[in-house]
């Protein structure tokens, strides 16, 4: 028997800390992009930080691709 799939909610507990040395320009670009998808600034910041940690120039590349 398959388990029942239900909707889950994303919870972020406490402040989302910006890692030391993170490029503030990339973070600002990231917040602007991610706020198009969510009204929650904490979630937008967390997503932006995750993308920047994967690729420090993520949002510059995204802008270049005009996506």
More confident site: 14 or 64: 64
- Nearest Cα neighbor of 16 from 3, 60, 38 is 38
pTM: 0.74
Token pair 């989302």 is found at 16
pLDDT digits 0-9 by tens, 25-53: 999 999 999 999 998 888 899 999 999 99
Rounded distance between C-alpha atoms, residue 38 and residue 10, angstroms: 12
């Amino acid at each position: 028997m398959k388990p029942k799939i239900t909707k889950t909610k994303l919870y972020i507990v406490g402040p989302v800390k910006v890692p030391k040395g993170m490029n503030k320009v990339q973070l600002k670009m990231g917040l602007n992009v991610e706020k198009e998808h969510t009204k929650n600034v904490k979630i937008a910041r967390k997503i932006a930080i995750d993308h920047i940690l994967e690729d420090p120039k993520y949002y510059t590349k995204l802008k270049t691709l005009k996506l």
